[in-house]
Amino acid sequence: MFKKVMIHTKISIKFIVLFMISTFLIIGAIAFLYKPTYSVYINNEPIGYTEKKAELQHKINDYIENGEEENGSIAFVQVENLPEYKLCLLKKDIVANDEEIFDKVKEQGITYYRYYAIADNGEEKVYVSSFEEAEHVVNGLREKNSSNLEKIAIVEKYEETMQDLVTSEEAVSKLYTAPLKTINVAKKGNTGSVNTSLTTSGGKANIGISLIRPISGVITSRFGVRSNIRKSSHTGLDIAASTGTPIGAAASGTVTFSGRKGSFGNMIVITHGNGVQTYYAHCSSLYVSAGTQVSQGQTIATVGSTGNSTGPHLHLEVRVNGVAYNPQNYVY
């Protein structure tokens, strides 16, 4: 019995040894013929092999963050489909193609540039490369007391197309607007003629021109009859804004009144032709005199609280042949 057990044990040992030798030989053959590597896929499509997954992915990440151009204005590169990796055994005679894989990734890349637009009254005028340069431009305009400073804004941009950049000095030169000269408003004298009658119409006349908003602000009093101590006819529209806010001409025309007018305070009247006029009252400063030709949007005055006023605002009127019409029929 013991003898049989020993024979069985020897057979088992031989089998184990043979199995280990076979396994070793198989592993050796695989190691001789194949190498561990990664197959690479984009959008489930095989595109090649890499033996250095970490290095390849690092290169791709660097490309996404910085692009390949030597341009400090690149914000990032957008890649829609990133590669996926699967471990596999590859015959040693097959060569990895990391560069081809990287080129496939770049084919999808969309480069976005970061730069800064400097806008004047909402319109982008010049472009600089950094926020620090943009701030330098604003400070330069402030030092020169540029009259458009309150309308200047910095806008961060991320775009596929790079704009032509300028230096901060060039930007200041292009944006600078000389300070407007304030007209000394005389209490008496020839400042032009104006009709301030309370005649109003609830209809809408065909004025034949297009008006723009002289300022942006909150409407605090509308056209028509209003209640206070006694009912009165409000011949215009009151728009609240900070003192000193620039007032633009609603349309081009000729200034036919510029001066002080009783309860209206400092006021400008622009005549646009065909009996159409626009009134701008309670101004703090007046920048144009009677007889001046003005263009649409040109700064003619600043918001104030002169005359009969409870706070800084623009009183805007639209008159046709002396009759006041609701400005909201044409603007706001």
pLDDT tens profile 243-295: 989 999 999 999 999 999 989 999 999 999 999 999 999 999 999 999 999 99
What is the structure's pLDDT at 186? 47
Q: Give 299-320 as a DSSP string.
A: EEEE-B--SS-SSSEEEEEEEE
What is the chain's alpha carbon radius of gyration, rounded to the nearest angstrom? 39
Q: How many CA atoms lie within 13 Å of 61's alpha carbon, on the beta-carbon side?
A: 6
Task: Decide if pLDDT at 185 tops 60.
Answer: no
Contact call for residues 175 and 151 (beta carbons, < 8 A): no
What is the structure's pLDDT at 110? 92
Contact call for residues 264 and 196 (beta carbons, < 8 A): yes
Task: Decide if pLDDT at 68 tops 50.
Answer: yes
- The listed range with the strongest mean pLDDT (197-201, 226-230, 297-301) is 297-301
At 92, the pLDDT band (50, 70, 90 cuts) reads confident
The partner residues of 234 in beta bridges, in order of sequence, read: 224
At 90, the pLDDT band (50, 70, 90 cuts) reads confident
Q: CA-to-CA distance for 218 and 223, rounded, in angstroms?
A: 14
Q: Which two tokens stand for residue 102?
A: 């990287």
pTM of the model: 0.53
pLDDT tens profile 128-169: 999 999 999 999 998 888 888 878 899 989 899 889 999 999
Q: Which two tokens stand for residue 122?
A: 């909402």
Q: What sign does the dihedral 200-205-209-211 (CA atoms) show?
A: positive
Task: Decide if pLDDT at 312 tops 70.
Answer: yes
Residue 100: closest CA among 56, 64, 34? 56
Q: Which two tokens stand for residue 245?
A: 């806010």
pLDDT tens profile 203-257: 899 999 999 999 999 999 999 866 554 456 899 999 999 998 999 999 999 999 9
Residue 286: closest CA among 130, 181, 191, 157? 181
Contact call for residues 38 and 49 (beta carbons, < 8 A): yes
What is the structure's pLDDT at 34? 63
pLDDT tens profile 18-56: 667 666 665 665 556 667 899 999 999 999 999 999 999
Q: Give 250-291 as a DSSP string.
A: SS-EEEEEEEE-GGG-EEEEEEEETTEEEEEEEESEE---TT
Q: Which two tokens stand for residue 313?
A: 């605002």
What is the structure's pLDDT at 236? 95
Domains, in order of start, for the chain: 35-108 (no CATH), 114-175 (no CATH), 200-329 (2.70.70.10)
Residue located via tokens 């006694």: 230
Task: Decide if pLDDT at 321 tops 50.
Answer: yes
